[in-house]
Amino acid sequence: MSAERMIGGREPIPVDVVAGETYWWCYCGRSKSQPFCDGSHEDTGFEPMEWKARRTQTIQFCTCKRTANPPICDDSHLKL
What is the distance between the alpha carbons of residues 7 and 53, in angstroms, rounded to a whole number? 24
Nearest residue to 49 via CA among 30, 71, 29: 71
Cα distances from 16 to residues 2, 46, 55, 71, in angstroms, run 32, 25, 10, 14
What is the distance between the alpha carbons of residues 44 and 37, in angstroms, rounded to a whole number? 13
pLDDT in tens, 15-69: 999 999 999 999 999 999 999 999 999 888 999 999 999 999 999 999 999 999 9
What is the distance between the alpha carbons of residues 15 and 53, in angstroms, rounded to a whole number? 11
pLDDT in tens, 56-74: 999 999 999 999 999 999 9
Indicate the domain borders of the chain.
Answer: 1-69
